[in-house]
Amino acid sequence: MDPVKTECESLKDLKAILDKAKEWEIQLLLIGGWAVNAHVGAYRYTKDIDLVMKTADLGSLKALMKYRGYQVEDRRIYIAGQKETEDVQLKFHISIGDIVDKSRGMALAYSLDENTYRNAPLLPIRSYYQQCREYELVAPTLPINNLFITKLLPVGRVLDVVDCVSLILTCGKELDVDFIAHQAVKNNLADAIESRLESIARDVASGELERIWMGHTGQRISKKDRNEIRLRFLRKLVTRLRQLRAP
Amino acid sequence: MVWLPEWAAKSYTKLYYRFRDGPFDFARAQELFGYGKAKTARTLQEIETSGLLHKGRLSTDLRRKIYHLIPLEQFALAFALSQESEGIEDKLRAASKDFQYVVNGAAAAYKYHGYMTPAKTDIRIHKKDLGFWIALLKEKGIQIAIDEILAEKRGQVIHLHTNLTEETFARAIQIEGIYYTSAEDLVLDFFRHPTDTSLLDALAIILTHTEELDWKLLAKSDVAQEIGFSMEALNKEAEKEVFSKKLVKKFAQRETVHKRFSISAELLDLPVDYHNLAKNWNLEVNIPPRVFQKAVADLVSRSSGPS
């Protein structure tokens, strides 16, 4: 597999799919690691591209992916599109309606409403390799508050913790505690999110977060930043969640 | 990189005469200059902007900020190379003729598997060349971390490790003019120090480079059990022979000792079949199956073997 070619082809195909989707009036949003990268510059993310679409567009989207030469597999909660050439393999995962996480042994679903699609920012998608600069594009991306919720759903992956922390540190002011808490309660995700927030807070307090962060990024995480994450942000969000759930 | 103005050059020579490339702190610089705090800070800033000074922390006391001067000869070489190169890759390519280094860690892994982008660029260098590398690589937006002294600010991080050995360099692979740690050395290193992501990097390399890897070398290594177990776990998750029985068998030929293969301090609740598989390899395993499942989902082609 040629990494440079893979990245260039991924960017080219993403643009082609988004352009065609717009023409066919299918709304698609970038989610996952590529979305974190678009918002704050993710530290590590895989080459596979994650998107979300409305359930009503399923048929058209499958047709679009096939039209672009992808083998399409319907896996009920998402469709997987795969295209292979001699030295490049491209994969898209497109969530259908809800963004579903199964890392806790049960399905947690986060539904996006019409406003999310309407308010999605168009963000620049940067390439890692210089040779792929010409294929950089702008893509409709899951808004930062919704993205933060999706990053709190999976458990056990260090990368998600790094993503959450980088979202807090880089865009802390844009993260709306009230909105996140309301969305969590509305989607029956409050318990899952609260336990995740508590686990991250424990990692901050024990120094585990610092170890993870340093290992990944080669950067120190200052005491001020640790306090910002734990005391200002996580505690505020947990408090708001509890207030909303109180009878 | 820019040449120093004469007034700052005089201060540089004063500092160099006194400290050479050894560490000094702000107070000692101020004492030597005989300036006030503001003028000392401005002078040090000017020298740093030129690329002749590196700011870091004392490894024995991370609260203390220290400075190191870059020797003029190393600065001149870096200045010459940076004139004809743009960007990190270009600079590394230019340095390949005269300096030994290897790109290591996640950045090297990405060059092989093209699967998961690296968060930083780890480069192993000789300690004697440290000044040259700092001067060459430092530019706007780039943070330099050195050994255990990490970057202070967020941005693109280049992590210099002053532990390059002749043996490692001899096994390095030159790809497009840049030296990378060999794929085999990376796999061994990732298996020796497994984390959530380094294990995924290792799995991605063995899945994407099945044809090219020196399997004999891997099978003779001290982590042959861990690699053998992982190959079987990938076969199990893919529900097909991603790695042939014959290849996996090579890893079982080495005498084994009972070992723990874990990426978590917390004891994970794993399926029984994982424990049974681990027993065959004389391992006590504590790796969540999702690591293997993710590698299979993303990197194993549905039609044939690994992509």
pLDDT band at B302 (very low <50, low <70, confident <90, very high): low
Give the closest residue to A31 by CA, choosing from A53, A12, A54: A53
> Residue B107 maps to which CATH number?
3.30.460
Considering only the beta carbons, identify the residue of B114, B118, B152 that sits closest to A1. Answer: B114
Q: What is the pLDDT of residue B83?
A: 86
pLDDT surpassing 70 at residue B305? no
The residues of B whose Cβ lies within 8 A of any Cβ of A are 87, 89, 106, 110-120, 122, 143, 145, 150-154, 157-159, 195-197, 208, 288, 290, 298-299, 301-303, 307
Q: How do residues B92-148 score in pLDDT, each as one tens digit?
A: 999 999 999 999 999 999 999 999 999 999 999 999 999 999 999 988 889 999 998
Say yes or no for a CB contact (<8 Å) between A2 and B114. yes
Q: What is the pLDDT of residue B303?
A: 60
The domain boundary, picked from A93, A116, A142, lies at A142
CA distance A43 to A159: 8
What is the rounded average pLDDT of the residues A74-96?
Answer: 90
> Residue A9 maps to which CATH number?
3.30.460
H/E stretch holding A29 reads: strand A28-31
Residue B135's domain comprises 77-181
Q: How do residues B19-47 score in pLDDT, each as one tens digit?
A: 998 999 999 999 999 999 999 999 999 99
Residue A208's domain comprises 146-245
Residue B219 lies in a domain: yes
The domain boundary, picked from A86, A114, A142, lies at A142
What is the nearest CA distance from B122 to chain A, expressed in angstroms? 9
Per-window interface: A 96-115 vs B, CB < 8 A: 103
Whether A113 and A15 map to the same domain: the answer is yes
> What ipTM does this complex have?
0.87
Query: Strand A122-125 relative to strand B101-104: parallel, antiparallel, unpaired?
Result: unpaired
What is the rounded average pLDDT of the residues A91-113?
Answer: 93
Q: Which positions in chain A touch B151 (Cβ < 8 Å)?
A: 217-220
Three-class secondary structure of residue B173 per DSSP: strand
pLDDT surpassing 90 at residue A78? yes
The domain boundary, picked from A112, A127, A142, lies at A142
The domain boundary, picked from B50, B69, B88, lies at B69
Whether A51 and A101 map to the same domain: the answer is yes
Considering only the beta carbons, identify the residue of A82, A170, A220 that sits closest to B151. Answer: A220
Say yes or no for a CB contact (<8 Å) between A89 and B145. no
Please report the sign of the dihedral spanned by the C-alpha atoms of residue B154, residue B148, residue B193, residue B164. positive
pLDDT surpassing 90 at residue A230? no
CA distance A51 to A64: 14
Q: What is the pLDDT of residue B246?
A: 95
What residue has token string 């820019």? B2
Three-class secondary structure of residue B24 per DSSP: strand
Whether A217 and A133 map to the same domain: the answer is no
Q: Between the ranges A128-137, A154-163, B48-57, B175-184, where is the mean pLDDT highest?
A: B175-184
Q: Which positions in chain B touch A89 (Cβ < 8 Å)?
A: 299, 301, 307
Q: What is the pLDDT of residue B220?
A: 95
Residue B1 lies in a domain: no
Whether B188 and B295 map to the same domain: the answer is yes
Say yes or no for a CB contact (<8 Å) between A157 and B290. yes
The domain boundary, picked from B154, B181, B208, lies at B181
Question: Taking the CA of residue A83 as centre, how many other CA atoms within 13 Å lie in the half-sphere pointing to its CB?
Answer: 14
Whether A133 and A152 map to the same domain: the answer is no
DSSP string, A70-118: -EEEE-SSEEEEEEE-SS-EEEEEEEESEEEE-TTSS-EEEE--HHHHH
What residue has token string 């709306």? A176
Q: What is the pLDDT of residue A220?
A: 87
What residue has token string 């099978």? B219
Residue B42 lies in a domain: yes
Whether B197 and B274 map to the same domain: the answer is yes
> Residue B38 maps to which CATH number?
1.10.10.10
* Mean residue pLDDT across chain B: 92
Whether B213 and B268 map to the same domain: the answer is yes
Q: How many domains does chain B have?
A: 3
Whether A184 and A138 map to the same domain: the answer is no
* Mean residue pLDDT across chain A: 93
Q: What is the pLDDT of residue B306?
A: 54
Whether B198 and B153 map to the same domain: the answer is no
Whether A159 and A111 map to the same domain: the answer is no
Residue B282 lies in a domain: yes
Q: How do residues A196-218 score in pLDDT, each as one tens digit?
A: 999 999 999 999 999 899 988 98
Whether B161 and B81 map to the same domain: the answer is yes
Q: What is the pLDDT of residue B211?
A: 93
Residue B305 lies in a domain: no
Residue B306 lies in a domain: no
The domain boundary, picked from B127, B153, B181, lies at B181
Q: By percentage, how much of chain B surpasses pLDDT 70?
A: 98
Residue B304 lies in a domain: no
Considering only the beta carbons, identify the residue of B111, B116, B301 that sits closest to A44. Answer: B116
Token representation of residue A48: 């596979």
Whether A78 and A193 map to the same domain: the answer is no
Whether B51 and B94 map to the same domain: the answer is no
Whether A82 and A135 map to the same domain: the answer is yes
pLDDT surpassing 80 at residue A27? yes
Whether B201 and B279 map to the same domain: the answer is yes
pLDDT band at B304 (very low <50, low <70, confident <90, very high): low
Whether A108 and A174 map to the same domain: the answer is no
Whether B223 and B158 map to the same domain: the answer is no
Q: How many domains does chain A have?
A: 2
Given strand A71-74, what is the order of strands in its sheet? A28-31, A49-53, A89-96, A78-84, A71-74
Per-window interface: A 186-225 vs B, CB < 8 A: 214-220
Residue B97 lies in a domain: yes
pTM of the shown model = 0.90
Q: By percentage, how much of chain A surpasses pLDDT 70?
A: 99
Considering only the beta carbons, identify the residue of B150, B298, B302 that sits closest to A214. Answer: B150
Q: Which amino acid is at B274?
A: Y
